[in-house]
Structure 1
C-alpha cells in the first residue's frame, strides 16, 4: 500500500475542494437557516458540476462517470463531505452503484438519466417497524399469474425521495428455511414516480442535514411489470450485498471531510484567540485537545484508505469496511464536539459551520448501519476465525 497520493489523486482533491469552496460554501448558511434547497439553485450548481467533470464521478467511465479507483473516489467524497450534505449530495449527485446491476434496458431507463443529471434515484429499505432488521420488513410483493408484481406496505426515512424520479424498493416476496430458521426472501423493484398506488409523503423534520429531505413511501396495490425486478426475484439481498458494500466507506469519507474542516477551524481559532496574554492554543487544556483530534482523525483516515486499497485489491472484508465506518463516524462526533469546546460559546453560533457539523454528525452513527451493527460485524468476523 502506497501512502503518497498520485498526481492524478492530488488533482482530484484540489479540483473538488476548489469547487466545494467556490460553489457550495457560499450557500450553506441560507440552506441551514431555511431548511430548503431551491430547485433553481440545484440546477445551477448541477450544471457547473457537470461542466467540471465532478457529477456522477463515482460511476465507471463506460457509462459516463470518471472511472475512479476506490481510493480516488473516496478522496473525492472526503472533499465533497466538507460542505452541507444537501448541497453536495443533491447538486453533485453520485447515483447508487446498485443501478449498475440492472439489465441493459434498465440501465438505459434508470441509470443513464441519473448520470446525465436529469433525475435522481432513491433506495427504499427501511420501515417503521424493521430498522436494522431488514429481514423483518413487513412490506411485501406478490406475483400474479400474468407476471406483474403487486406491492403493498410502507417505507420511511427514504432520502430525497421527493426529488427522485423513481425508487428501488426492497420487498418481502416469500420465505425460506435456513440453518438459522425461517427467513424472508427479498426482491428489489424499480418503481417510477407516478405509478398508480405509489404515494410519496413528507417525512420527518431532522436535526441533521438540513435541506436534505426524507420521505414516507406508501405502496397500495402498486402494480409493476416483471421487467422492473432488479436482479433476480427473491435475490434482493444478493444484489444489495454485491453493490452497496462500499457505501459504508462513502459515509466514512464524507465524515472525514467534515472532521478535517472542524479541526482546522479549531487550530486557526486556537492560534489567533488570545486570553491571559497568550494564544489559547498554548494552554495545555486546548493544545492536548488539538493533538487528540488530529491523532484520532489520522487513525480514521488510515482505516478508511486501507479499506479502499483492499477493496481494489479484492481482499477487503466486511470488518474492514465496518471498522472504517465506525471509527470515522465516532471521530467526527468527537472532533466536532471538541472544536466547539475550543471556540467556546461562539462555536454554537450559526455564523460558523461548527454547530452544523456537530448536529450533522449525529446521524452518521445511525444510517448505513448503526455503530452497534458495525461492532457486531467486526466481532462476528473475529469470532468466526476461531470457530466461534
Structure 2
C-alpha cells in the first residue's frame, strides 16, 4: 500500500476541489439561509459537473461513469464533502450503486437516466419504528396474483422530494431461524405517481440545510413483479452486495469538512492577535491544532486503508466501521475546536464553521450510529474467541 496518491488520483483531487471551490462554494450562503436548493441552480451546475467528468463518477465506465476504484472514489468524495451537502449531492449526483443490480430493462428505465442527470433516485429502508433494526420493519409487500401490494410508511428518506422513483425495502414474509422468526425482505422500484404511493414533506433538520428528507406512504400500492429489484425475499442480499461502501462514503465526506474547518482554524490562529502576539503562540490554541491535525490524519489513514482493502477484496465489516466511526467523531471534535479557536466569530454565518458544526451531528447517526459501529467492531474482535 502506497501512502501518496498516484498521478491520476492527484488529478482527481485537484479537479474535484477546483470544481467545488468555483461552482459550489459561491452558492452555499443561499442554500444555508433559505434552506432550499432551487431546481434552476441544480440545472445550471449539473452540465458543468458532467463536463468536468464528475457527475456519476462512482459508476463503472461501461454504464457511463468514471469507473473509479474505491480508493480514488473516496478521495473524490472527500473533496466534494467540503461543500454544502445539498449542493454536492444533488448537483454532482452519485446514483446508488444498487441500481447496478437491476435487469437490463430496469437499467434502461432507472440506471442510465440517473447517470445522464435526467432522473434522481432515493433509497427507502428506515421506518418510524425501525431505524438501525431493519429486520424490525413493519411495512409489507404481499403477493396478489402476479402483483405485490405495498402498505406501510418509510421516513427520513433523503431527497425523495425530487427523486423520480424510490428503491423501497419491504417485508415480504418470515422464515424460521435458530433465533426465532426473521423477516424476509424484498426491494422494489416504485415510480413517483404510482397510485397508492405518496411522498410527504419530512422533518426540519438541524443538519444539511437544503438536503431534504421525506415521509413515504404506501396505501395498497400495487406493483407488477417486474418492479422487484433482484430476487423476491433477497432484498438484504442485494443491499449487502451493492451498498457495502456507503459507510466509507460518509467517512470521506466527513473528512472533507473536517479539513476545511481545520484550515480555517489554522489560518485564523496565525493571523489573530491577542495580548500582543498571534494566538497560535498560546499553548491552549497550539495544542488544539496539534490534536486536530493528529486526529484528521488518523481518520484519513483508516479510511484510505479500508478503501484500498475494499478493492483488494480483503476489507472487513470492522474495517469500514472503524473508518466511519473515527471520521465522523473526528469531524465533530474538529468542528467544535475550530469554533473555539475563532471565539464568537466561529458561530457567525459569515464563516462555514457553524454549518460544519451543525452538519457534523447527523454523521454519527445515519448509515449506522456510532453505537452500531462499535457493536460491529467488538463483534469482529470477539467472534474468533467464541464471544
Q: Calculate the TM-score normalised by the size of structure 2.
A: 1.00
Which residue is equivalent to 1:232?
A: 231
Which residue is equivalent to 2:131?
A: 131
1:190-212 per-position Cα deviation (integer Å, ceiling 9, x unaligned): 00000000000000000000000
Matches within 5 A, 1:274-285: 274-285=273-284
Which residue is equivalent to 1:115?
A: 115
1:21-73 per-position Cα deviation (integer Å, ceiling 9, x unaligned): 00000000110000000000001001110111100000000000000000100
Which residue is equivalent to 1:262?
A: 261
Which residue is equivalent to 1:142?
A: 142
1:79-129 per-position Cα deviation (integer Å, ceiling 9, x unaligned): 000000000000000000000011111111100000000011000000001
1:206 aligns with 2:194: no
- For residues 57 and 154 of structure 1, the distance between their equivalents in structure 2, rounded to whole angstroms, comes to 32
1:255-288 per-position Cα deviation (integer Å, ceiling 9, x unaligned): 0000000000000000000001110001000000
- For residues 19 and 244 of structure 1, the distance between their equivalents in structure 2, rounded to whole angstroms, comes to 27
Query: Equivalent residue of 2:252, what SS?
Result: helix
- For residues 165 and 259 of structure 1, the distance between their equivalents in structure 2, rounded to whole angstroms, comes to 32
Which residue is equivalent to 1:100?
A: 100
Structure 2: stretches of 5+ with no match in the other structure: none
- For residues 89 and 9 of structure 1, the distance between their equivalents in structure 2, rounded to whole angstroms, comes to 21
Q: Which runs of 4+ in 1 moved over 2 A?
A: none
Instruction: Return the offset for 1:179.
Output: 1.8
- For residues 234 and 176 of structure 1, the distance between their equivalents in structure 2, rounded to whole angstroms, comes to 10
Which residue is equivalent to 1:167?
A: 166
Query: Equivalent residue of 1:218, what SS?
Result: strand
1:12 aligns with 2:15: no
Instruction: Return the offset for 1:214.
Output: 0.3
Which residue is equivalent to 2:308?
A: 309
Query: Equivalent residue of 2:162, what SS?
Result: coil
Which residue is equivalent to 1:2?
A: 2
Which residue is equivalent to 1:374?
A: 373
1:172-227 per-position Cα deviation (integer Å, ceiling 9, x unaligned): 00001112211100000000000000000000000000000000000000011101
- For residues 4 and 253 of structure 1, the distance between their equivalents in structure 2, rounded to whole angstroms, comes to 17
- For residues 250 and 187 of structure 2, the distance between their equivalents in structure 1, rounded to whole angstroms, comes to 23
1:360 aligns with 2:350: no
Q: Calculate the TM-score normalised by the size of structure 1.
A: 0.99
Query: Equivalent residue of 2:106, what SS?
Result: helix
Query: Equivalent residue of 2:142, what SS?
Result: strand
Which residue is equivalent to 2:43?
A: 43
Tell me the matched-pair count.
387
Query: Equivalent residue of 2:94, what SS?
Result: coil
- For residues 193 and 304 of structure 1, the distance between their equivalents in structure 2, rounded to whole angstroms, comes to 36
Which residue is equivalent to 2:326?
A: 327
Matches within 5 A, 1:243-262: 243-262=242-261
- For residues 177 and 5 of structure 2, the distance between their equivalents in structure 1, rounded to whole angstroms, comes to 46
Which residue is equivalent to 1:296?
A: 295
- For residues 328 and 335 of structure 2, the distance between their equivalents in structure 1, rounded to whole angstroms, comes to 11
Query: Equivalent residue of 2:297, what SS?
Result: helix
- For residues 48 and 176 of structure 2, the distance between their equivalents in structure 1, rounded to whole angstroms, comes to 52
- For residues 265 and 292 of structure 1, the distance between their equivalents in structure 2, rounded to whole angstroms, comes to 15
- For residues 374 and 149 of structure 2, the distance between their equivalents in structure 1, rounded to whole angstroms, comes to 37
- For residues 7 and 131 of structure 1, the distance between their equivalents in structure 2, rounded to whole angstroms, comes to 41
Instruction: Return the offset for 1:131.
Output: 1.1
- For residues 91 and 77 of structure 1, the distance between their equivalents in structure 2, rounded to whole angstroms, comes to 13
Instruction: Return the offset for 1:4.
Output: 1.1
- For residues 179 and 382 of structure 2, the distance between their equivalents in structure 1, rounded to whole angstroms, comes to 17
Which residue is equivalent to 1:387?
A: 386
Query: Equivalent residue of 1:33, what SS?
Result: helix
Cα RMSD, aligned residues only: 0.5
Which residue is equivalent to 1:221?
A: 220
1:187 aligns with 2:186: yes
